[in-house]
Structure 1
Amino acid sequence: MSRFGAQAFVELPFRVELICEAAAPDGSSAAWQQYVISQGVNKITGLRPGAHAEVALQLEEMVERLNLRRMGKKPK
């Protein structure tokens, strides 16, 4: 860890790092997207059903809420 410690990472905003098509977890032909949200070295990974554009919009909304919580603000 850096000389700044864990506190320095808390000050970094969350951001969508990656969205890419992935195989459906149930083996179907439905569209699924794998994603990575990062905050410094911290990573959140997951899968969401839907087209790339649809999932990108959902993730941007999620990141906005995470960043509001990080700053101590409540979403409206």
Structure 2
Amino acid sequence: MAKLVLYGEFPMSDESVTVSHPYEIVSVEKTDPPPGTEGSDWYHYVIAQGPNIIRGYRQGALSAVKSAVAEVVEQLNQRRFGKRARVNLITIPKKTKS
């Protein structure tokens, strides 16, 4: 089973930076296990959005780690524009006068 360890740096930034810069993967590199963990096949990744940096560790095959980090980036970018709608709107036709 893959383990996920996250570390983050979130400096204060103005709103224009967060709107104009999407999150993106900066790097994914093989590394030693993070402190307090065991096992092999650990990778360190960096995600950035302007001055905001997210650093994390993930255990697994390189292709699986890259896929998981790409999914995190996609979800972070979706959150930048608000939550997805949860309401299922149904239109009811207006009654016509006979």
On whether the aligned pair clears a TM of 0.5, the verdict is yes
TM category (shorter chain) comes to 0.7 to 0.9
Which residue is equivalent to 1:53?
Answer: 63
User: Which consecutive unaligned segments of at least 5 residues does structure 2 have?
Assistant: 1-12, 86-98
- In the TM superposition, structure 1's runs of 4+ consecutive aligned residues that sit over 2 Å from their partners are 25-28
Q: Whole-Å Cα distance in 2 between the matches of residues 74 and 17 of structure 1?
A: 26
Equivalent residue in structure 2 for 1:6, among 14, 20, 23: 14
Alignment of 1:1-76 (within 5 A): 6-11=14-19, 12-25=21-34, 26-28=37-39, 30-74=40-84
Equivalent-residue separation in structure 1 for 2:65 and 2:84 (angstroms):
23
TM-score by length of 2: 0.65
Per-residue displacement from partner, 1:1-53 (whole Å, max 9, x unpaired)? xxxx611211110011110001023354x100000000011100011101211
The normalised TM-score by structure 1 is: 0.81
Question: 5+ unaligned residues in a row in structure 1: which ranges?
Answer: none
How far residue 71 of structure 1 moved from its aligned partner, in angstroms, is: 1.2
